[in-house]
Amino acid sequence: MSYIAPVKDMLFDIQHLARIDQVAQLPGFEEAGLETARAVLEECAKFNEGVLAPLNWEGDKNPSSWRDGAVTTTPGFKQAFKQYTEGGWQGLQHPTDFGGQGLPKTIGAPCGEILNSANMSFALCPLLTDGAIEALLTAGSDALRATYLEKMVSGQWTGTMNLTEPQAGSDLAAVRSRAEPQPDGTYKVFGTKIFITYGEHDMAENIVHLVLARVTGAPEGVKGISLFVVPKFMVNADGSLGARNDVHCVSIEHKLGIKASPTAVLQYGDKGGAVGYLVGQENRGLEYMFIMMNAARYAVGVQGIAVAERAYQKAAAFAKERVQSRPVDGSAHASATIIHHPDVRRMLMTMRALTEGCRAMASVAAAAYDASHHHSDAAVRQQNQAFYEFMVPLIKGYSTEMSLEVTSLGVQVHGGMGFIEETGAAQYYRDAKILTIYEGTTAIQANDLVGRKTARDGGQTAKAIAAQIEKTEAELKKRSSADGRAVAARLQAAREAFLDVVGFVAGGAKASPNAVYAGSVPYLMLAGNLMAGWQMARALMAAEDELAQGTDTAFMQAKIATARFYADHLLTRAPGQRDSIVQGADSVMALAAEAF
């Protein structure tokens, strides 16, 4: 079954939840209203459905290969990347000053979902380039911007993030790569970086590596790390490409999933030192790298939504075709398609509700990002920034964990056929697993949620969001519909569970860190569930209002049913999570380390 982009659902979120009418009032986004969103998404869908989606399975069967330092991507990828860049898709959200289209994240994010649904392995190359562009826009000198940005925004050159080393995974304080200052103001970079996505490939003329390293004599730990631009090919004064720099791919990894995406081991400085250019100031590299990481963390959350959507579409199509067993209600005297079986419906509704809930959550966060960067009122910018920053670990953590649940259910719907690679259901399951790991594991997102986003301000941001949710409950309770009142009750119970945990976290993070962090991932899952459920509750109200106007009856009825299912079957997880967090901490640490 081929992929069909869920443009209608995306536009519903953009219009009713993200309120694109308000985004279009922001300075610089006056032309980016609903009709622009519709035109861009429809064009994006056409390209991805026709060009990239057919290559997804091919990439799994024929992944990227490495030989003598060179990487050859999956057949068809190079030509597809040329079409992608010629269409201007790399520059969608980037400034017009550097050749981009300057569209808001509210429109760019769903385009990212479509791209990742079509072909996640392919999409990783533009994703990492976006992060590198963000870092250079924020911290790069005028000279670095002038040299690199236009070619990166066009997609002529691609970008990478180089953090991880064999001994330094999540603990970046252990980075050993070094940079030696040179008389001409450049640096010589030495070291080994691992897990570098698209660190070497054949799709672009040049690769711009952003590399963490320590300048000679820098302080130990995270305070002594700097960020450098290290291009694969040196760039001449006229912008043309010069000599090959001293950075080489010594191997690529063999992986569980995203097989077409080359994950490189890069060696810097084997032949005298790779030429690097300092980004910003020495010893502030981690601060700049977090700009890339925050952009990438949101994007990885969108990847989770994307692969979940692809798995749902495949499972739903299979369920409508696969004949097996008589329905339990006796509605057919012979075997029927499995879509008639209640448990298959439960699985499909879970897949659908989780995917739509996370999509809605990501859409609302994208609008907050746009307001935080473009609103004319500083107080409004700050308020939206706090909301967006609170949401990032939830979008990354909850949406990716959700994708594992959804893609696993996708295999389950297929039954034994799902375990056979040829059906394609297993690829989504395998591809999804990396999402809970790279760009910061779920536990790291949870640590961020506990430490920076909850304990630091005594839970004030979390409580302010809960107050907004309470207003939605009040609106639901005023409605005459049974669905609205039922969803309000579920939402209230989940919000109260959330507030209990926020109080526990804010009150105990310093005094009882083991107790609080033992429940950090359950807290993230509870919070993500609540935020997605809140948006589904808002979606229900919007759909009821549209239904009353006679608008797109079948779509609106489906949205209401999905929102009700989310409340009944997913929001109900929150009180149990609260109990395990607040009352179950002791049992997490009860066994001594040597007892395992």
Report in angstroms the alpha-carbon separations of 26 from 104, 112, 143: 10, 22, 30
Name the DSSP letter for residue 200: S
CA dist 2 and 356 (Å) reads 20
If DSSP codes are grouped into helix, strand and coil, which group holds residue 446?
Answer: helix
Q: Is the dihedral of CA 522, 527, 530, 533 positive or negative?
A: negative
Active site residue 321: no
Report in angstroms the alpha-carbon separations of 45 from 17, 114, 141, 349: 21, 7, 36, 24
Beta-ladder partners of 165: 168
CA dist 312 and 471 (Å) reads 32
Beta-ladder partners of 586: none
Report the number of secondary-structure helices (H) and strands (E) in the chain. Answer: 20, 12
Beta-ladder partners of 157: 206
Catalytic residue among 134, 439, 544, 546: 439
DSSP 239-275: S-EEEEPSEEEEEE---SS-TTS-EEEEEE-TTS-EE
- Closest to 153 (Cα-Cα) out of 194, 220, 219, 108: 108
Residue 47 structure tokens: 């390209």
Q: How many CB atoms lie within 10 A of CB 499?
A: 19
Phi, psi of 132 (to 5 degrees): -65, -40
- Closest to 574 (Cα-Cα) out of 540, 536, 517, 523: 523
**511: burial class by Cβ within 10 Å (0-12, 13-18, 19+)?**
exposed
What is the separation of C-alpha 237 from the centre of its chain, rounded to a whole number of angstroms?
Answer: 37
Phi, psi of 181 (to 5 degrees): -65, 145
8 Å CB contact between 64 and 135: no
Tell me the CB-side half-sphere exposure of residue 424, using CA atoms within 13 A. Answer: 20
If DSSP codes are grouped into helix, strand and coil, which group holds residue 485?
Answer: helix
Left if phi > 0, otherwise alpha if psi is -120 to 50, otherwise beta: which for 40? Answer: alpha
Helix (H) or strand (E) holding 110: helix 105-118
**Residues annotated as catalytic (active site), given as ranges:** 439
